[in-house]
Structure 1
Amino acid sequence: MGIKINDQSFKENLGKNLNDDFMRAAMVKAQDLINNNRTNVLSQLGDGNFQEWQKLSGEVRGHALENLDFYLNQFAENVVKNGGNVFFAKDAKEASKYITNLAIERDVKKVVKAKSMVTEEIGINHDLIDAGIDVMETDLAEYILQLDDWNPPSHMVVPSLHLNKTQIRDVFAKNGYTGEDIPEDLAAFSRAELRNEFVTADMGIYGCNFAIAESGAITLISNEGNIDLCTSAPELQVSVMGMERIVATYEDADICISLLARSAVGAKSTSYTTFVNGITEEGAADGAKEFHVVIVDNGRSKVLKSQFKEVLQCIRCAACLNICPVYRQVGGHSYNSIYSGPLGVVLTPLLEGYDDFKELPHMCSLCGACTEVCPANIPLHSLIHEHKRVLAEEKKDSAFWGASMSGAGMVLSRPWMYKLGTSVAPLITKPLMEDGKIKKGVSVLKGWTDKRDMPAFENERFRDWYASRSKGGNK
């Protein structure tokens, strides 16, 4: 798939998703549920001070990035000591080619995959399929998306959030399901279909939540148990990781793991936390007999040297998506990237460039909520603001946007012009009023008023109101 999920324009993607009422309702429901649960479990962390844990996690991740060469080398050496193989891929193409060639050389017929954002990023699924290899996603949400003609994910943790149970039933019906849209029945059907895939698979591919430098271990965190089956049944296994997904020690990993489930889904922990340490001992009933780790750069080295390097501290919990007011309204596909929400706004242009993603930094109100909830202590809203600055300085914004901002800057920086504008605004908009609000579907305001009410301008300016009260001694 790669990072970009389709070839539609930003406006086309946004318009389509704004008109998807179910998707928008699902985003609201998911955000509210996860955030309520998150608040409850974070209050139980140690002494209850999330900010202290947030700071500590940020220091752990920042330290690893500051010493990335050392820890990557230490990790790679330990993987080899544990009987594994390590491949450093400079880009997505090189990473996918290595895995595909490995599968071809080992005469692999079937691959089972666990959910992984970086494998989406390198586009491995379609490369394997093009090589004649059967690929099966085993995470329930990813399995649904695969059956739905590789529908792209809309959320980093809940990839199929944009689909309702009836849509999922229809997808399953095309693949042999004959029941109703009852979630338990749908899950039972997928479980029965997937169980046989594990025992007949020749290769298992999964991601990496945290790579532990001191031991060469891969940490995998999940709820469904499918990752454990990917790490136990196939004898040939490949872990794919972004080069930044590393911590120095088990203690550092423990800090990040303690925050991950709480921030991602509002739970104290996930059902499964697994450590993979290379090949298994001779005679073991399950586990890898051949183990490979593919460490992906794909632009991360460049990011590491830039003013945006803190974004690489991300632990992929999606807390920023779950709190973002923009994501709440437009959903994940509006970003046209596998990385959506505030993280996607920062990361996608860094990995893919501004040409196709120059609108993303403007999908932000700079409210700062994402920064407040980020367990890795990333100043996300400040990094988004930096993107806005770069776009303005390099004149990469559209001509319309540039002219609009120049006009706004001229008015807002000249008191007499601002006063004139706020004085005439009530008069200009009066013909558009209905029940105290601006009518729907009015010219340039249509994009706003089609989806929500626009308040009327007050007849009395705040400055005039304040001045009159001050003169009368009322302050």
Structure 2
Amino acid sequence: MPESPGLSLKERSRLALQDEFLRSAVRFTTERLRNKKKESTERLGNWEEWRERGRQIRAHTIQYLDYYLDLFANRVEQAGGHVHFAKDAREAAEMVLGIAREKQAKSVVKSKSMVSEEVHVNQRLAEQGIECIETDLGEYIIQLANQAPSHIIIPAIHQTRRQIAELFSKEGGEQLSEETRVLTAFARRRLREKFLQAEIGMTGCNFAIAESGSVILFSNEGNGRMVTTLPKTHIVMMGMERIIPSWEDLEVMANLLPRSATGQKLTVYMSAMTGPRRRGEWDGAEEMHVIILDNGRSNQLGDPEFQEVLHCIRCGACLNVCPVYRHIGGHAYGSVYPGPIGAVLSPLLNPGDEQMQELSYASSLCAACYEACPVKIPLHDMLVHLRRKNVESARVSIGEKIAFKGFASAFKNARRYRITMNTLRNIQKHTVRDGSKYPKLTRLAGPAKEWAEHRSLPFSEKKSFRDSWKTLQEELAKSVRRDR
């Protein structure tokens, strides 16, 4: 599904539901990832203990984030690197542009980085005439398609091989077949040229180790190492929460992240970089810059309802189990971060964006995301808190206000409750088509018709529990009187 700026969540979701390939691809891939995760976590054993240890590490780090950030920055500088703190996306992008101008760069190669997507660094570089090439295969595909990622770890999940072949054929000026071997060979040839030409390499940061000032990258392609060794300058784009205290803590994360993301015991490459190239070393960048981004993250510190969102390790496990994401994919969220984590994080990072605030309703509140999360983030609770904030900020329709006032009125009073339930039971007789596995709501009008379009409703019993209980009590009383 192409991105649809300007449309509401409901409109974007409707478009996604009409895209049969998207729904099929997302369903197939997420189910495969869930099964692989289940298998790999069972083999590891004591998965809940690993989750709890991961939660403890993240909770401790975020509680003392200022200390660990300061320690990390000092260690990076001691190792010969440069640290820059960016308060928002604009400032982070300006820092990248400043480094590029200083190096007179014409070309930047970039490995996968969600933070760089967040600050729209590719567009900012392009506006200054600097080419920025994505070197992760999935990111390269969607860059050619001029789209945003639709999954945190599988950005091109929505693209068919035919669409990819068309993109590569147009880019290369030759007709390519749809064979995977042919398409990957083309990408390899084209990207190798870019690696050799670029003055700057840019990466994200899976984890930053405070005690040594090291930047850790997890990847399944060799592009990450090419980006960090061939160009003379290396820029790291890092969210301020990516810190962990020690190498010992990395062992825990190195078990949690790959298993939760792709079901692997380990990613193919785990790279650790501590500063730029040292004297006598053969590879590595001559200069290293670490840009640490706030962009609204610090606003969650100390907030009992939302601080835990900063525990996220960006594995994407919550997307793979979410019934909403599995039906509409990532672009329907209209955010860099899709799925349950995006439905929480995007409104928090963009409090003034009305379009982001409606994302909290893209959830069934089933809590599957919490069960899947390797560090136990209660995203379902946060979604409820965000909905409450929307109500307090008057971001609800008049119809919704009336409906919930009516609901409250009916459930506060026993007599009104009985009348309401009997009325609804009578209405159901005429609106629910019974006799099938999934009874459907029919004959509804207005908003109710739209609500019922994709829902089934179990047919209620002819007699309510309260009525049955009343009858039972009457029969019991008669029996007692007879016995006397």
Q: What's the TM-score bracket when you normalise by the shorter of the two chains?
A: over 0.9
Tell me, in whole angstroms, the C-alpha distance in 2 between the residues paired with 1:330 and 1:341: 10
C-alpha distance after superposition, 1:64-109 (max 9, x if no partner): 1111111111111111111110001111111100111110121101
Alignment partner of 1:40 is 2:35: no
Using the TM superposition, give the Cα deviation of residue 457 of structure 1 relative to its aligned residue in structure 2, in angstroms: 4.3
Alignment partner of 1:305 is 2:289: no
Using the TM superposition, give the Cα deviation of residue 455 of structure 1 relative to its aligned residue in structure 2, in angstroms: 4.2
Tell me, in whole angstroms, the C-alpha distance in 2 between the residues paired with 1:466 and 1:21: 48
Matches within 5 A, 1:44-83: 44-45=43-44, 48-83=45-80
Counterpart of 1:381?
A: 380
Contact preservation (8 Å) 2:168, 2:176: no
Counterpart of 1:17?
A: 16
Q: Percent identity?
A: 40
The structure with the largest alpha-carbon Rg is: 2
Using the TM superposition, give the Cα deviation of residue 460 of structure 1 relative to its aligned residue in structure 2, in angstroms: 3.2
Tell me, in whole angstroms, the C-alpha distance in 1 between the residues paired with 2:450 and 2:90: 39
Counterpart of 2:272?
A: 275
Counterpart of 1:118?
A: 115
Contact preservation (8 Å) 1:5, 1:337: no
Tell me, in whole angstroms, the C-alpha distance in 2 between the residues paired with 1:152 and 1:462: 51
Tell me, in whole angstroms, the C-alpha distance in 1 between the residues paired with 2:49 and 2:234: 38
Distance change in 2, residues 1:346/1:5 (3 Å) = farther
C-alpha distance after superposition, 1:158-184 (max 9, x if no partner): 111122222222322322352333333
Counterpart of 2:346?
A: 348
Distance change in 2, residues 1:415/1:28 (3 Å) = farther
Alignment partner of 1:459 is 2:459: no
Tell me, in whole angstroms, the C-alpha distance in 2 between the residues paired with 1:138 and 1:471: 76
Name the stretch that deviates more: 139-148 or 340-349: 340-349
Tell me, in whole angstroms, the C-alpha distance in 2 between the residues paired with 1:160 and 1:468: 60
SS class of match (1:83): coil
Letter in structure 2 aligned against 1:168 = I
Counterpart of 1:243?
A: 240
Counterpart of 1:174?
A: 170
Name the stretch that deviates more: 113-122 or 447-456: 447-456
Tell me, in whole angstroms, the C-alpha distance in 2 between the residues paired with 1:323 and 1:456: 28
Name the stretch that deviates more: 171-180 or 185-194: 171-180
1:253 aligned to which of 250, 253, 258: 250
Distance change in 2, residues 1:161/1:441 (3 Å) = farther
SS class of match (2:84): strand
1:319 aligned to which of 317, 341, 353: 317
Matches within 5 A, 1:205-244: 205-244=202-241
Using the TM superposition, give the Cα deviation of residue 352 of structure 1 relative to its aligned residue in structure 2, in angstroms: 0.1
SS class of match (2:324): helix
Counterpart of 1:329?
A: 327
Tell me, in whole angstroms, the C-alpha distance in 2 between the residues paired with 1:276 and 1:125: 24
Counterpart of 2:130?
A: 133
Distance change in 2, residues 1:264/1:447 (3 Å) = farther
Using the TM superposition, give the Cα deviation of residue 189 of structure 1 relative to its aligned residue in structure 2, in angstroms: 2.0
2:150 aligned to which of 154, 161, 176: 154
> Runs of 5+ in structure 1 lacking a partner?
none
Distance change in 2, residues 1:461/1:166 (3 Å) = farther
Alignment partner of 1:357 is 2:356: yes
Alignment partner of 1:407 is 2:410: no
SS class of match (1:159): coil
Counterpart of 2:479?
A: none
Name the stretch that deviates more: 289-298 or 340-349: 340-349
Counterpart of 1:198?
A: 195
1:438 aligned to which of 433, 437, 440: 440
Distance change in 2, residues 1:405/1:183 (3 Å) = farther
Distance change in 2, residues 1:383/1:166 (3 Å) = same
Distance change in 2, residues 1:404/1:140 (3 Å) = farther
Tell me, in whole angstroms, the C-alpha distance in 2 between the residues paired with 1:450 and 1:182: 40
SS class of match (1:244): coil
Tell me, in whole angstroms, the C-alpha distance in 2 between the residues paired with 1:440 and 1:168: 42
Contact preservation (8 Å) 1:429, 1:438: no
Contact preservation (8 Å) 2:108, 2:130: yes
Contact preservation (8 Å) 2:138, 2:154: yes
Distance change in 2, residues 1:5/1:228 (3 Å) = farther
C-alpha distance after superposition, 1:221-275 (max 9, x if no partner): 0001111110111111100101110011001122112100000111111100000
Tell me, in whole angstroms, the C-alpha distance in 2 between the residues paired with 1:403 and 1:41: 49
Query: How many residue pairs get matched?
Result: 467
Tell me, in whole angstroms, the C-alpha distance in 2 between the residues paired with 1:377 and 1:63: 14
Contact preservation (8 Å) 1:219, 1:273: yes
Tell me, in whole angstroms, the C-alpha distance in 2 between the residues paired with 1:154 and 1:248: 31
Tell me, in whole angstroms, the C-alpha distance in 2 between the residues paired with 1:300 and 1:165: 38
C-alpha distance after superposition, 1:364-423 (max 9, x if no partner): 222221112211221221222222222233333333333333333333343433433333
Distance change in 2, residues 1:426/1:314 (3 Å) = same
Alignment partner of 1:28 is 2:27: yes
Using the TM superposition, give the Cα deviation of residue 463 of structure 1 relative to its aligned residue in structure 2, in angstroms: 3.8
Taking structure 1 as the reference length, the TM-score comes to 0.92
Tell me, in whole angstroms, the C-alpha distance in 2 between the residues paired with 1:414 and 1:423: 14
Tell me, in whole angstroms, the C-alpha distance in 2 between the residues paired with 1:467 and 1:332: 50
Distance change in 2, residues 1:186/1:448 (3 Å) = farther
Tell me, in whole angstroms, the C-alpha distance in 2 between the residues paired with 1:441 and 1:110: 60
Distance change in 2, residues 1:160/1:401 (3 Å) = farther
Contact preservation (8 Å) 1:371, 1:380: yes
Contact preservation (8 Å) 1:358, 1:397: no
Using the TM superposition, give the Cα deviation of residue 347 of structure 1 relative to its aligned residue in structure 2, in angstroms: 1.0
SS class of match (2:201): strand
Contact preservation (8 Å) 2:16, 2:332: yes
Alignment partner of 1:101 is 2:98: yes
Letter in structure 2 aligned against 1:335 = Y
Distance change in 2, residues 1:417/1:278 (3 Å) = same
Distance change in 2, residues 1:162/1:463 (3 Å) = farther
> Runs of 5+ in structure 2 lacking a partner?
477-484
